[in-house]
Every structure is written in structure tokens, then in C-alpha cells.
Amino acid sequence: MSTLEIKDLHASVTTEDGPKEILRGVNLTVRAGETHAIMGPNGSGKSTLAYAIAGHPKYEITSGEVLLDGENVLDMTVDERARAGLFLAMQYPVEVPGVSMANFLRSAATAVRGEAPKLRTWVKEVKGAMNDLDIDPDFADRSVNEGFSGGEKKRHEVLQLALLKPKIAVLDETDSGLDVDALRVVSEGVNRYREGGETGVVLITHYTRILQYIKPDHVHVFAAGRVVESGGPELADDLEKNGYERFVRAAGAAV
């Protein structure tokens, strides 16, 4: 059973005017079997948190720790983090022309599993996972994310989640830009991934809509670069009714 611990994490991004601090002391612990929703207004730094955990080179960690089962994730390269069991479903998945989805998925599975999956079972596995997400089999031959619609990209992020089976998955606004049908399909995919109770999910979202499909155990409000309030699912209902206004004001006063 895995645990992701984020302790007093500070991160900044380089701008023309010098480094700008975006994460200002994030504390969060996610255990296997738990789903944490992180909600916050635009610009609060919640996507930065996702990228910082994954190791995007744009963000510099200035202090704090991220531990996966006690191991310091921040000492690892991006690919080592993924092989250690972290996964980031991106808000804007990147197009990689020339690399077919099939080749990409197999290379990723080979890297994460430590050996190339057996071809016969692999083909079946991929077909099944694509079918679960209503993805046309033709997509296997297309270049990674190239020319995919927003919804197609999100389905493929969840497809990777299903095939790579990480210990902890961070989903960065996986719901944004999805119509209701796509949201349902994607949510079902996430629920299948977490149904064994051995994986942890961090669900970053701006809207409460996806929480009707993916029920969180914990809800955190993120503002001005840190978690400013934590609670149960009822906190999401409060946000739905009253918005982020009071948190933004309180966080602004604290800064």
C-alpha cells in the first residue's frame, strides 16, 4: 500500500522579472485507496503542484519534500518518478508527431513494468482498455495526440492510466473541455483504476461537476499556492454554493 507525502513544498517558475514563487508550502498526504480532490480558482497553483510532482523542468523546487513510500521523489528524473509509480494525466497532453500511439504505449509499458509485455496478451490488453474508453482502434496507428480533439486526448490519458497502473495518479483538470458523455466515460475509467483500493488519486479540478462521477474521500481548497482548507465531500458542496471567494480573500490577506 503506497503513500505520497508532500511536505512544505515550495516551487517557483522563472519569469522575465526573475523567479516567481507559485507553491508556498503545500502539505498533503495521499494513501492508497484514497481519492483527494484539490479544488481552487484559476491561478492558484494547483496545476503547478501537479507538474512539480511529475518533475517538469520549468519549475524549480526551492524547499520541501515529496516522498513516495518514503523515497524522495525530488531526487529522481522525470522517467524515474514514473517508473516509481507516479502518473500525471495532463490538462494539455503533448503532441508527438511521428510516434504512433501503439509504439508509445508499448514503450511506456515496457519502461514502467521493467520488461516488454508479451505481444499476444499486450494486444488484447490494449484493445480491451481502448474499448472500455470508447476509443476507436484506428487511434493506435495515429501519432501521439496529433490532431486529437480535447476529449480524445483526455481519453488517451486515462487509457495510459489503465495500462500503466501507477501507485498514485494525479489528474490535472481531466474533466475540462469534456461533454457529459465523455466525462462519464473518462470518470468510469478512473473509477475502474481505483476500484481495487490499492491506488491513490489526486483529482485537480476547477469544477465540482466531475465529483458527481468520481467521489472523493477528501476535498482540499487550494489558494495562493497552498492548501487553505481541507474537509470531506461536503466541502465541495459548499464550494458549489458559495464559490472560492472567501478562500481567495483569506489567502490574499495571509500573503
Partner 1 sequence: MTEVVSGLAPELKGAKRGSGIVPEASAGERFQSTDVEAFEVPGGREENWRFTPMKRLRGLHDGTAMFAGTAAVSVTETDGVTVETVGRDDSRVGQAGIPADRVAAAAWSAFREATVVTLDGTPEPVTVTVDGPGAGESAALHLQLRTTPHTEATVVLVQRGSGVLADNLEVVLADGSRLNLVVTDEWADDAVHVAAHHLSIGRDATLRAIAVSLGGDLVRVSPTVRYAGPGGDAELLGLGFADAGQHLEQRLLVDHAVPNCKSNVLYKNALQGVKGTTNAHTVWIGDVLIRAAAENTETFEFNRNLVLTEHARADSVPNLEIETGEIAGAGHASATGRFDDEQLFYLQSRGIPEDVARRLVVRGFFGEILQRLPTPELRERLEAAIEAELAIAGA
Q: Which residues bind partner 1 (CB under 8 A)?
A: 54-57, 77-79, 81-83, 87-88, 90, 93-100, 103-104, 107-108, 111-112, 143-144, 160, 164
Closest alpha carbon to 13 in 4, 5, 23, 3: 23
- 3 state DSSP class of 105: helix
Residue 105 or 185 having the CB closest to partner 1: 105
d(CA 48, CA 35): 19
As measured in angstroms, the least distance from the Cβ of 238 to partner 1 is: 33
d(CA 113, CA 164): 8
Residue 152 or 251 having the CB closest to partner 1: 152
Q: Is the dihedral of CA 209, 237, 47, 223 positive or negative?
A: positive
Residue 41 or 93 having the CB closest to partner 1: 93
Residue 171 or 251 having the CB closest to partner 1: 171
d(CA 144, CA 212): 30
As measured in angstroms, the least distance from the Cβ of 169 to partner 1 is: 12
* Cβ–Cβ < 8 Å for 223, 248: yes
As measured in angstroms, the least distance from the Cβ of 104 to partner 1 is: 7
CA angle 89, 247, 202 (to 5 degrees): 20
As measured in angstroms, the least distance from the Cβ of 111 to partner 1 is: 4
Residue 60 or 95 having the CB closest to partner 1: 95
As measured in angstroms, the least distance from the Cβ of 8 to partner 1 is: 24
